[in-house]
Every structure is written in C-alpha cells, then in structure tokens.
Amino acid sequence: MDHQIQKIEALLRQITEIRMEHYVEHELFSYQWWTLLVMLIGSWIVWWKLVDRSRLLELCLVGALVAICAASLDYIGSTIPLWSYPMRLIPVGTLLPVVDLSVLPVSYMLIVQYFPKCRHYLIASFLQSGAYSFLAEHLLEKMKIYQMISWNHWYSFVFYFGISLMVYWISRRVLQITKNERT
C-alpha cells in the first residue's frame, strides 16, 4: 500500500480517538446533546401527528429527497471544511444527522403538505429558508452546535431555497409520471 495512504489512515485513526475522547468528556449528555436528541425525536413526533396519511408516499419521497440533498451537501461542506459541528449527537461522521435526517425532511414534507399550490409553496419555502439561515443557524452557533468556517448565512439561504425548488420540481414530476402511467 502507498505510504501516503498509510499515513492518512493513521491520522484518521488518531482523529477518531481524539474525537471519541472529546465526545465522552464534553459532548455526551451536555445540554447541546439533549437539545439535539429532542430535535431528532420531536421532529418525527410532530410529523407523525400532522402528516396527511393519504399523501404518505408523496411526502416520504419529498423527505427522502431532502435528506439525500442535505446529507450530501453537509458532507461536502463539513469535509472541505466550510463549517463544522463541535457538538454531536453521535461521535462519528462529519454530518449533523439530526438536521439532515429529521428536522429538514420533516419541515419540507409539512410545507409540501400544507402548501400544495406552487406560489404558496414558494412563499413558505422562502420564509423557511430565511428562518433556517438567519435564525436557526445563528441559534445553533450560539449553542456551539454549529460553527461557520468559510461560510455565511446567505449561502445557506441559497442552498435551503435551492433544495426546496429542486425537491418540489422532482416530486411533482414523479407524481405526474406515476399518474400518467396509471391512466
């Protein structure tokens, strides 16, 4: 095996050990850890209580698309690094799975559910993108859960709104294709 690859693997093992030590000593059971746990469980409880079960397939498609986009962008951004997560629910990986796999998918699914018309959806998505970019991210920074490195809130706004546009278009297209196949 190449010497540089071996060196990289040794450094990654060392980083993992340091990360685990930090997690156990400073993150696990901290107020930030409990906040992330409540966000994870709470968002899915809210979703389950509010979801229109007759549109479950459509909404799950939206949620899956959001989760894929968010996790992919988060992986790239935290690997470069444009941002980081000093506090985590789980000690492995570079993602914030609480947001990528629960808060964002749930909120986008609810927006699709409650604002099915394009114009209303765009307004709601615009407002949600602003709330996440300028309020939620700021709060997560204050709580030391999220840290911007070479990033700003306007970039986040573009990404959140871009995800909403893409997900809306793809989900509508898939529903249209499915409907046409049935007739």
Tokens describing residue 176: 């249209």
Helix intervals (H) in the chain: 3-22, 31-50, 56-79, 97-98, 104-114, 118-130, 137-142, 153-182
- pLDDT of 98: 86
Among the listed residues 40, 41, 60, the one whose alpha carbon sits nearest the alpha carbon of residue 52: 60
Domain boundaries, the chain: 30-182
The position carrying tokens 């799975």 is 97
Question: Could you list the pLDDT tens digit for every one of the 183 residues in the chain?
Answer: 688 999 999 999 999 999 999 999 999 999 999 999 999 999 999 999 999 999 999 999 999 999 999 999 999 999 899 999 999 999 887 667 789 999 999 999 999 999 999 999 999 999 999 999 999 999 999 999 999 999 999 999 999 999 999 999 999 999 999 888 877
